[in-house]
Amino acid sequence: MGMDGRDTPENAAATPSGATIEAWLDGLRGRLADDVRGAVADYIPELSRADADGLAICIATVDGQVYGVGDQAEPFTIQSVSKPFMYGYALREYGVDFTLGHVGVEPTGEAFNSIILDDVHNRPFNPMVNAGAIAVAELMKGATMAQRERNMRELFSQFAGRELSIDDSVYRSEHATGHRNRAIAYMMLNSGMIRRDPEDVLDLYFKQCAVSVTCRDLAVMAATLANDGANPLTGDKVLDPLAVRDVLTLMHSCGMYNYAGQWAYEVGVPAKSGVSGGVIAVIPGQLGIGVWSPRLDAHGNSVRGVEACKAVSSAFGLHVFNARPNVRAVIRREYRADKVASKRLRTPRERDLLAARGARVAVIEVQGELYFGSVERLLRRAAALAGETDRLILDFKRAQSADAAAIGLMRHMTEASTPGDASLILSHLTAEGPLAGLHAAMSEVSEALGTSRLALIEDADAALELSEDALLAAAPELRHGAKYALKELDLFQGLSEDDCRELEQIVQPMQFAAGETILRRGDPARALFVIARGSASVTVPREDGRVRRLACLGPGLSVGEMALLDGGARSADVVADEPVVAYALGVDRLRDLARTRPGILIAILENLSRELSSRLRLASDEIRALE
């Protein structure tokens, strides 16, 4: 499996890391169990019936691993933890500007159920206090109450990755006794902050607060925010990253009510608490945390929920201003064409030439997320290399994303290049997937500048081969595409005129059309071939049924030489890429000849050993260069 897979999502405890994290969480649970400060909310009877000693702590990673301890499956109503998700919905459906018209973004020193409103802007201060959440609840779409409720339930179900329902008795109880919220709603109607019937808006608000969740649900919902709005279990894209950013900002500044400043300082993670004892915390790019414990402190936050988040944040180093993007990792490795070759096999003279001049071609393997800091560093390195090279290949095979800043920087940099600069080749930039935006921008630039200055090539190996070809084409001392006479071939060097004449008797010139098979995998190996003109590929079938190209051969190169040594079966297919002329040399006939003229076989074996030895040395260099 790949590095990005989910190893054992179903049974975290079975893995050492799972056991480690859950053991740690369990230790934390044990310590917190002794903390009986605070009191269960009792403003409605249904909430006061919660198990005051209940406690669960869950962590969900952005790739769907869930760790949990305690009463993970115990249901409770989500209450105010619903607020950030509803705010995300408003941003998704209406955009920032419209939403800002209905609710502000300023923290307030007031309690969560404060009736004080922002008179200057005529809106509640922020969506994390009740007044703001009621304003947001008005924005739920749907022609009827039933439709709005369905839409709301669907939203929460998408965040949780399972179908959630409403706790009817809690809803009814809040509906019957929510006088303060009713007062807030009517105040807002009075000043025009809401427009619809307050009873109607409150009805949805009470239902949203009464959505029944478990602690595990909270962790997954938080992990959906941590994962840029995509549910890590289902892959559902619930919010776009920009909306997530705004939600997290408000959770960070207002999520813990009038405890927010201290929280940002000590715990330092975007969070939201609710009166039923739930707390979520979000570590962007890493994980979501859910805690449930019903006893509340004076601010209305779960006592143990706050303590659990403090401990997890501290032990795991999760404070938002701890998070350091690793700009250095954008360059996975770098190499030059004098040390690392494409899959095209070259003649000894070509190899010598590439070893001498290949440093003029550089490859940078790019990896990870492309954003301002990482692209700035990449382009700085590319610029340094541009002075030393003729061609620079940026291989995006392992790049995972490119944000607008990355695309803009790449665009500006390539547009600003001059004809004298190294020509730039971008490989593995695909028109679909996470790099589609970068692909589109670079295609445009390439069209404007011409492919000689900026080219997009699917595959890094093809880009390298092309760059090698360009280096070789510039070398007048090489004969390009020429047909080789037998005695000019490296394999037959050192033979006397006499030997050559003898050899010619047993050598058979052959022609192959493009696409024709020269050697077939599994066939008995009875002859070796030397290519005199054209090009052929050595391939083996891959597990997925497609074909893997191992090497590519041109004039002067031999193939199937193992026939000389053990005469077993062919280990790969060799197929003509274009019309090929080759010399076939039957091994049996060569051995017959060697009985009278051993010097021929000795010379051929020496040449073969020399060739293999030279290729082995190159391969060893390449292995070192790839480390």
562 binds its own copies (CB under 8 A): yes
Q: Minimum distance between the CB of residue 383 and its own copies, rounded to whole angstroms?
A: 4
Span of 77-85, 272-280, 298-306, 613-621 interacting with its own copies by CB under 8 A: 613-621
Question: Which residue intervals of 416-526 are DSSP H helices?
Answer: 436-449, 460-473, 497-506
Binding-site size for its own copies (CB under 8 A) equals 118
Candidates 171, 257, 484, 583; catalytic one: 257
Locus of tokens 């605070």:
38
Q: How far is CA 304 from CA 290, 296, 414, in A?
A: 12, 8, 54
Q: Residue 549, Cβ neighbours under 10 Å: how many? A: 17
Judged by CB under 8 A, does residue 547 bind its own copies? no
Residues 202-231 that bind its own copies (CB under 8 A): 228
Determine whether 205 is an active site residue.
yes
Task: Rule CB under 8 A: choose which of 564, 576, 580, 582 binds its own copies.
Answer: 564
- Give the pair of three-digit tokens for residue 530: 């030397």
How long, in residues, is the chain? 627
265 binds its own copies (CB under 8 A): yes
Among the listed residues 151, 177, 286, 493, the single contact to its own copies using CB under 8 A? 286
Cα separation, 209 vs 92, in Å, equals 20
Confirm or reject binding of residue 542 to its own copies (CB under 8 A). Answer: no
If one asks whether residue 594 binds its own copies (CB under 8 A), the answer comes out as yes
The residue range among 48-56, 62-70, 201-209, 440-448 that interacts with its own copies, by the rule CB under 8 A, is 62-70
Active site residue 80: yes
Closest C-alpha among 260, 234, 213, 261 to residue 85: 213
Tell me, yes or no, if 614 is annotated catalytic. Answer: no
- The single residue among 316, 459, 549, 587 that binds its own copies, judged by CB under 8 A, is 316
State the CB neighbour count (10 A cutoff) for residue 344. 21
Write the CA distances from 13 to 9, 18, 20, 26, integer angstroms.
Answer: 10, 5, 8, 12
Measured from the CB atom, is 64 or 75 closer to its own copies? 64
- Concatenating the DSSP letter of every residue in 494-530 gives T--HHHHHHHHHHEEEEEE-TT-EEE-TTSB--EEEE
3-state secondary structure of 92: helix
Q: Is 483 a catalytic residue?
A: no
Q: By the 8 A CB rule, do 284 and 227 touch?
A: no
Which two structure tokens, joined as six digits, stand for 390? 């003729």
Active-site residue, selected from the candidate residues 80, 82, 157, 423:
80
Among 168, 197, 334, 516, binds its own copies (CB under 8 A): 334
Residue 449 contacts its own copies per CB under 8 A? no
- Binding its own copies (rule: CB under 8 A), the pick from 211, 366, 386, 445 is 386
Binding test (CB under 8 A) with its own copies, winner from 122, 169, 400, 430: 400
Give backbone dihedrals phi and psi of 341, rounded to 5 degrees, phi first: -105, 160
Annotate 368-388 with b (16+ C-beta within 10 A) or e (fewer).
bbbbebbbbebbebbeebbee
Which of 149/502 has CB closer to its own copies?
Answer: 502
The active-site residue out of 105, 275, 306, 445 is 275
7 binds its own copies (CB under 8 A): yes
- Any idea of the CA torsion for 285, 291, 297, 301, to the nearest 10 degrees? 40
130 marked ligand binding residue:
yes
Residue 83 is a catalytic residue: yes
Nearest residue (CB) to its own copies, 579 versus 586: 586
Query: At its nearest, how many Å lie between its own copies and the CB of residue 120?
Result: 11
Residues making up the annotated binding site for substrate are 80, 130, 174, 181, 205, 257, 275
- Active-site residues, by number, are 80, 83, 205, 257, 275
